[in-house]
Amino acid sequence: MFYHIKELQYNAKPERPDPVYAKKLQEILGGQFGEISVMMQYLFQGWNCRADQKYRDMILDIGTEEIAHVEMLATMIAQLLDNAPIEEQEQAAKDPVIGAVMGGMNPQHAIVGGLGAKPDDSVGYPWTARYTIASGNLLADFRANLNAESQGRLQAVRLYEITDDPGVRDMLSFLIARDTMHQNQWLAAIHELEEREGPVVPSTFNTEYEKQEVSYSFMDFSKGNESKKGRWASGPSFDGKGEFEYISDPEAMGQIPILKPAPLYVHGTIPSDMPPPPSAH
Amino acid sequence: MFYHIKELQYNAKPERPDPVYAKKLQEILGGQFGEISVMMQYLFQGWNCRADQKYRDMILDIGTEEIAHVEMLATMIAQLLDNAPIEEQEQAAKDPVIGAVMGGMNPQHAIVGGLGAKPDDSVGYPWTARYTIASGNLLADFRANLNAESQGRLQAVRLYEITDDPGVRDMLSFLIARDTMHQNQWLAAIHELEEREGPVVPSTFNTEYEKQEVSYSFMDFSKGNESKKGRWASGPSFDGKGEFEYISDPEAMGQIPILKPAPLYVHGTIPSDMPPPPSAH
Amino acid sequence: MFYHIKELQYNAKPERPDPVYAKKLQEILGGQFGEISVMMQYLFQGWNCRADQKYRDMILDIGTEEIAHVEMLATMIAQLLDNAPIEEQEQAAKDPVIGAVMGGMNPQHAIVGGLGAKPDDSVGYPWTARYTIASGNLLADFRANLNAESQGRLQAVRLYEITDDPGVRDMLSFLIARDTMHQNQWLAAIHELEEREGPVVPSTFNTEYEKQEVSYSFMDFSKGNESKKGRWASGPSFDGKGEFEYISDPEAMGQIPILKPAPLYVHGTIPSDMPPPPSAH
Amino acid sequence: MFYHIKELQYNAKPERPDPVYAKKLQEILGGQFGEISVMMQYLFQGWNCRADQKYRDMILDIGTEEIAHVEMLATMIAQLLDNAPIEEQEQAAKDPVIGAVMGGMNPQHAIVGGLGAKPDDSVGYPWTARYTIASGNLLADFRANLNAESQGRLQAVRLYEITDDPGVRDMLSFLIARDTMHQNQWLAAIHELEEREGPVVPSTFNTEYEKQEVSYSFMDFSKGNESKKGRWASGPSFDGKGEFEYISDPEAMGQIPILKPAPLYVHGTIPSDMPPPPSAH
Amino acid sequence: MFYHIKELQYNAKPERPDPVYAKKLQEILGGQFGEISVMMQYLFQGWNCRADQKYRDMILDIGTEEIAHVEMLATMIAQLLDNAPIEEQEQAAKDPVIGAVMGGMNPQHAIVGGLGAKPDDSVGYPWTARYTIASGNLLADFRANLNAESQGRLQAVRLYEITDDPGVRDMLSFLIARDTMHQNQWLAAIHELEEREGPVVPSTFNTEYEKQEVSYSFMDFSKGNESKKGRWASGPSFDGKGEFEYISDPEAMGQIPILKPAPLYVHGTIPSDMPPPPSAH
Amino acid sequence: MFYHIKELQYNAKPERPDPVYAKKLQEILGGQFGEISVMMQYLFQGWNCRADQKYRDMILDIGTEEIAHVEMLATMIAQLLDNAPIEEQEQAAKDPVIGAVMGGMNPQHAIVGGLGAKPDDSVGYPWTARYTIASGNLLADFRANLNAESQGRLQAVRLYEITDDPGVRDMLSFLIARDTMHQNQWLAAIHELEEREGPVVPSTFNTEYEKQEVSYSFMDFSKGNESKKGRWASGPSFDGKGEFEYISDPEAMGQIPILKPAPLYVHGTIPSDMPPPPSAH
């Protein structure tokens, strides 16, 4: 169960409205790696957690914090939209600055949302639950989380670069710092799990059942071999169980596929060496 | 530019048709972490790569391999659908085994695809490009890739468990082995980049501009403190620049948000302490 | 079955082309509360109607009218796109007015639609059938309809505000008036059904089976109690069967959830107090 | 900002696992009118609220409660999936009960979620932010909310009918009761606003600018006139400003649309009375 | 403007309910090539038509007919759902026939739609406006229409095969016959346009501006040359302007792409031969 | 299986960056008729092909070529984004040219993609697998392919018109030429199949089972009869089996639909001539 307090976790006060920037800032609210994504991802990972309670508790703590980040961004965007100019076109066309603002805004901010934030990304695409990753395997999921915090911090930094509003930058400096913590946090949790399970997910599959002769081979499917210069092409594998090998000309190991003709009731194309069908009925 | 050869990378021959399993196997073809996702993700990361050529080449090598995996899975699914029973309901209802098959199939496999594979997941949801991650920052993206190979191997292993067809298992044993390699490969590439850049993405943002007092604090937003027991709650941070601290009762640091009334031309609700508007025009 | 006549229900003639406005006007054509939504919603409610014929007939009458509204908007948008400038960038950049137009247009209007309307909203997001509400319970659905006409009239009014083209305003004045009627109409139909069934949907569920002690409690899940000042916090409930009560500190009434570990064949994370699994096969 | 406590708002304990029902129950978790929808809808309406603080506070109180409902449903679904049978097909086919379960499950519950709830609906379609309604006009939005609670209670009641598990029914009896309250609550809030503003949304548009001669006309666009029998066809309108009138044979009031030929650079079809174009360049 | 009459264009009366088939029949109602798609496609092509009135009129005639087909299918599906069994699971599990029905139904037909049709396809995926094709070039669009009627008739035939309900088959026999007409109709319209314009769309682009040396070359991008055996590999081209040629070993004609490093403010990966950046700010 | 070579199939080198055009060019990369669509469509048609090997081989040859077209477009877009201005708003507002660029860009090109191409269309909508058409009936599918190449060439031509960058035009001249070939190719393949099967898809359905009296009737569902002037309204049908007939006043041939009331457990609206239900339990 949850409780709300009215104060924001951190300040979200722009110095001045900026509806074009409001559109861009939507990316870290409702984009693939926005705050709604991490909020939903952590909450669902926590609620579905079948492992130790310390993981469940930790995941839900951070999931609860992310709701507060969604709140901060929504609040910021609403203020960036204060008094956005949406008046007559003709006049706008005369003033290129207003024209640029009106062309660059997300029209739904005015028409649909009445100058409020939307759970969408910076091109207006709605947040979708397909962004949420929760597999029941924590090592897999913590890698998803580390990625989310990496992409998220990268986007926040890019948004920091393209504004000079001190209020917006102040809020972003907080979110960026939290992303620093959260990257560190998932690195720590991954470290703990890898110590116990090893680095290959899932650790519980009997590797005798996998085709082990290709478990450590880098296959070079192109002309040229620049790809040979990396750590992935030679030396011991990172799970400590094999040695990387570089295969310059990988050969096909499988059959040439020939599919059977479809049964008549499917009405596909009939191979030319078969008689045309009698009427189907 | 690409060339095709007719042989599959590895065998994809089921022992017998199984249209219900065909539906499930769609998950690792067209699901969020299916082969289409990694194919598109690696190809776009490679084509957009602005870093060293060895990365570009490596990423495109593996992206090219993934096209072959899509091909294997599509071929397998088409064969699992051979002669799928789609005939009259009445008869089906008499035989519960046929009934279960017909109820458990993806109806589009017959009606839309004519017994062919589809670029969809196991509930019939179409693959979407929002699954593709390519940010231009390779450390962030390699984490996305490590996650994709972890989730993908996990799903392949689960699909291995729920079939006993030796042909299907043979193909899966190959894909699982390649996922082992690919997890190792991304671990190696991540290691290389972290050595140069450190573990926090992006490394190029001046940390003085982030709110450093919260960069290493674990905030406990719930009652109870099981979350204190992990490595993330104390000790040096994983970027080597701080010390984790555990905050039991995190305080709000921000304002109580009060938004301005909307301008009249937006026709939102007017606060009760304002006069009702004169006619808008 | 349907017949078409060539005349529009009402005029749709702009005074001059305005491709940027054409993009915005798409909202009430193909947006969540655009004319396609009410057209489809009413038609499906009517076709699925299992209640009195007068409802079926009424719903289909208005559904049929909405097809004509879609037609008017499509016609208007095509004319707003007449001769839209899509020529070379270089020249455009020299003239900020043209630049604003080209930046503010929906590029698909030219590239995909050849200067025709699209069944999309104002950010180019395609209309989706998930907007359609038809539950088989008319009181529920008429509330959906009242909401749709409220949101729709609000958006049409906002679009009226941001144009000064007399032809566009003339058409909008007609659509706004029809929305006035349609709000009144659904209010009347709701009134009729509430008289018979009461205001709680569905009326046919035996309320003894609901947890009646929380059926009229407002729960204050935040610090502060501004929320106590409304009609919803005290006085008789609107179904006439209870009394509103305000609960300042709602207590949890449920368990602390502890989920069972997953079976081994799911390959989730294994709790640390369980032995690591033997190989799965 | 938000805090979490570990106890659920109300019990969510099934008597026994039932993975087929788990799939169906997803509807009120991640469907159009599921708990995620009302959670997001209320939170965004609250965060964007520019009206009186009592509304903001009230909306956020209920939004915060809805997070707890999402939590209850996710917890319930995870338990309904405990030990779901996903083993070999062959064996399943022999036991029609297991076969029905395996055919009727959502395959992603096992393959993707590792026996956890997903933010999707009962056909596996992911929750989308396009379900979220927040317009800045509270009367419009409270109608959306009343509809959401009506559709939501209707679906919960239907789900109550199709299970006989006492634990599931106990949880649903709580959610149904809360929906009773929430319908009453929105009715109260709507009543308050309608008293001030009247029933037509938005109230702030000068009705002189709408085409008033069609503001109260019911138009009969079909043969037959069953639709004349309702309250919407005669008597005073519900906004008290007009009289309903029934128009049996509504006439077209608009032009026959004739669009101009497209400019040559659009490469549309050229009317046959125009010369074929010279080469475009 | 449109009028409705109460009679269906053709009978839609099943002999008995069949909720599993109802789910499948949704494909030709709300699928990619279902009746909603052709209805919307033809209406939008007609409304956007800038060519001769005879085309506009013809397209809208058929578009209007398609609304009636949507109506027939919705009516049929509602009847197939009459009294669908949705009762307690336990009992269902005892009777495998009921179990198969309940597992094979679309759960939203009961929970969401109250036994009504939905604007979705056979896997429950909602109809999306991205299925609608209307480019302003009638030859292109008539090819889209011919394809839609071909795919649509194919699906209707497949659905005919998998039912033995005489009422359903009667309705399908009508829809299949109309699809026969509509294929013939689009073939006729295409013939007319090709006579005037030639077969390559768009005809108005000056072919001197295309890279004519590759305008008639079949490129064999695989080992083996079965693809040489078709009409597309030799002989005069179908536009009468060239000769097909078969290129066995197509060579790359383009550059090896090398992208510039990203500017620092984008925070991508920095090439290893560049110095690490000074702090960005 | 596939191999990659580093050279592009043809040059993709813009003369100068142009981020606004980059957004537009996305249409033929990730739009409905972009190169990703034909790539996926041809590959899936080939992999699922159950007809003669010459078709399979031909389809896969062209599918493999399309991967190279995706590569060319991605490469071009990345270069058009080189050094895109994303700096502070204030400065931008002063220079209308920069303002137009910043307003007209796709913000995700900078924030999400780090100046890389995305698998999305020109309004930022992600590519979806629902664009992929593969039915198992090659005549149907080749018509889909002919349409795709027609729409695709049309869009490429429109994009050619709106740039004057010689490098972009050079690349487009190649893609347009290949679309010329591909239209010719599908025309040839269609011709071959129609010779064998006739023009109505599917050819294998016994036409006695269709309602033959409406198989060649053009039905005029509107007032006015401009639609009578086309080849589709009279003369022999294109399948050579009938004669077109023009029906000016098509009559309804079906029932007036009356649906049964829903069972009580569905909680729909109860017809007014039925008693209100006793409590459901």
pLDDT digits (tens, 9 = 90+) for B134-163: 999 999 999 999 999 999 999 999 999 999
* pLDDT over 60 (residue E139): yes
Instruction: Name the residue with tokens 């680095």.
Output: A199
Residues of chain B neighbouring A196 (CB-CB closer than 8 A): none
Q: Which residues of D touch F226 (CB under 8 A)?
A: none
Smallest Cβ–Cβ distance between E27 and the set B4, B108, B206 belongs to: B108
pLDDT at D281: 42
What is the structure's pLDDT at E11?
96
Residue E81 domain-assigned (yes or no):
yes
* Least trusted range by pLDDT, from A181-195, B51-65, E79-93: E79-93
| Domain identity same for C43 and C25 | yes
Enclosing domain of residue A170: 19-197
Please say if the pLDDT value at position C222 is more than 70.
Answer: yes
Tell me the mean pLDDT in the region E187-216: 96
Give pLDDT, residue A89: 53
Q: How far apart are CA A205 and CA C277, in angstroms?
A: 9
Report CB contact under 8 Å: A60, D4.
yes
Q: Does C214 lie in the same domain as C153?
A: no
Alpha helix ranges (H) inside chain F: 19-25, 27-30, 35-47, 53-80, 89-94, 96-104, 107-111, 138-161, 166-197
Residue B115 CA: distances (Å) to CA of B17, B70, B79, D217, E140: 11, 17, 8, 53, 29
Q: Is residue F156 part of a domain?
A: yes
| Nearest chain E residue (CA) to C138 | E114
Mean pLDDT for chain F overall: 93
How far is Cα A23 from Cα B124, in angstroms, rounded to an integer? 33
pLDDT for the residue numbered A279: 47
pLDDT above 70: residue A93: no
Distance from CA of C174 to the nearest CA of E (A): 15
Shared domain for E214 and E102, answered yes or no, is no
Residues A193 and A55 in one domain: yes
Instruction: Identify the pLDDT of residue B278.
Output: 53
B94 and B213 co-located in one domain: no
Instruction: Give me the residue from F161, F266, F267 closest to D265, CB to CB.
Output: F161
Report the C-alpha gap between F202 and F102 in whole angstroms.
51
Residue B270 lies in a domain: no
Q: Are residues D46 and D150 in the same domain?
A: yes
Averaged confidence pLDDT in chain E? 93
CA nearest to A12, candidates A145, A199, A173, A150: A173
Task: For residue D268, give the amino acid letter.
Answer: G
B263 occurs within a structural domain: no
- Same domain as D186, residue D49: yes
In which residue are the tokens 């951070």 written? A62
Instruction: Please give the Cα distance from D264 to E6 (Å, whole number).
Output: 44
Same domain for C145 and C39:
yes
Q: Say if residue A88 is exposed, middle or buried (CB neighbours under 10 Å; 0-12, 13-18, 19+).
A: middle
The distance of Cα B245 from the centroid of its chain, to the nearest Å, equals: 32
What is the per-residue pLDDT for E274?
Answer: 81
| Shortest CA distance from F7: residue in chain E | E256
Interface pTM (ipTM) of the complex?
Answer: 0.95
Check if B173 contacts C (Cβ < 8 Å): no
How high is the pLDDT of residue E76? 98
SS3 state at E261: coil
Looking at the domain assignment, is residue A226 inside a domain?
A: yes
Put simply, whether C131 touches A (Cβ < 8 Å) is no
In sign, the C-alpha dihedral spanning B153, B156, B161, B164 is negative
Task: Evaluate if residue A28 carries a pLDDT over 60.
Answer: yes
| List of chain A residues whose C-beta atoms are within 8 Å of the C-beta of residue B75 | 257, 259
Dig out the tokens for A237 from the structure. Answer: 């594998």
Dihedral of the alpha carbons of D196, D201, D206, D209, in degrees to the nearest 10: -160
Q: How many domains is chain C built from?
A: 2
B240, exposed or middle or buried, with CB in 10 Å at 0-12, 13-18, 19+? exposed
**Domain endpoint, select from E155, E176, E197:** E197
Closest-CA distance of chain A to residue C273, Å: 8
Query: In this structure, are residues F74 and B44 in contact, taking their beta carbons and an 8 Å threshold?
Result: yes
Give yes or no for residue F93 having a pLDDT over 60: no
Q: What three-state secondary structure class fits B120?
A: strand
- Out of D4, D48, D127, whose CB is closest to A113? D48
Whether B92 has a pLDDT exceeding 60, the answer reads no
Residues in chain A within 8 Å Cβ distance of F138 = 268-269
Q: Read off the DSSP letter of residue A83.
A: T
With CA atoms as reference, the chain B residue closest to D124 would be B123
Residues E118 and E182 in one domain: yes
Which tens digit of pLDDT belongs to each residue from E12-26?
Answer: 999 999 999 999 999
pLDDT per residue over C269-278, tens digit each?
989 888 765 5
Query: Which of E179, E197, E215 corresponds to the end of one domain?
Result: E197
Q: Does some domain include residue A185? A: yes
| pLDDT classification of C94: cutoffs 50, 70, 90 | low
State the smallest CA–CA distance between residue B179 and chain D in angstroms. Answer: 16
What is the b/e burial string over F78-116, where b = at least 16 CB atoms within 10 angstroms of the residue's CB?
A: bbbbbebbbbebeebbebbbbbbbbbbbbbbbbbbbbbb
Token pair recorded at residue C64: 């049929």
Residue B280 inside a domain? The answer is no
Given C134, C165, C197, the domain boundary residue is C197
Residue of A nearest to C166 (CA): A88
The mean pLDDT value for F232-245 works out to 96
The band of C281, judged by pLDDT with boundaries at 50, 70 and 90, is very low
B137 contact residues in E (CB cutoff 8 A): 267-269
Q: Measured between alpha carbons, how far is B81 from D28 in angstroms, rounded to an integer? A: 33
- Position E281 scores a pLDDT of 42
The per-residue pLDDT for D275 is: 75
Lowest mean pLDDT among A156-160, B10-14, B86-90, F83-87: B86-90
Tokens representing E193? 């346009």
Find the CATH number of the domain harbouring D64.
1.20.1260.10
Pairing of strands E2-4, C2-4: antiparallel
Say if residue A193 is in the same domain as residue A211.
no
Instruction: Choose the closest CB to D154 out of F158, F161, F267.
Output: F267
* Total number of residues shown for chain E: 281
In sequence order, what DSSP letters do the residues of E192-242 get, joined into one string? Answer: HHHHHH-SSSPTTS-GGGS-GGGTTEEE--BSS-GGGGSGGGSSB-TTSS-
Residues 258-277 of A with CB under 8 A from C: none
For residue E63, is it within any domain?
yes
- Same domain for B122 and B217, yes or no, is no
B39/B125 same-domain check? yes
Cβ–Cβ gap C204/F163 under 8 Å: no
Q: Does B158 touch chain C (CB under 8 A)?
A: yes
Eight-state DSSP code of residue B202? P
**Please, are residues F195 and F203 in contact by the beta-carbon 8 Å criterion?**
no
In this structure, which amino acid lies at residue F104?
G
Q: Which residues of chain D have pLDDT under 50?
A: 279-281
Mean pLDDT for A240-269 is 95
pLDDT in tens, C171-212: 999 999 999 999 999 999 999 999 999 999 999 999 999 999
E281–B209 CB contact, under 8 Å: yes
Query: Per-residue pLDDT for E145 more than 50?
Result: yes
Predicted TM-score (pTM) of the model is: 0.96
The distance of Cα F251 from the centroid of its chain, to the nearest Å, equals 35
pLDDT at B279: 47
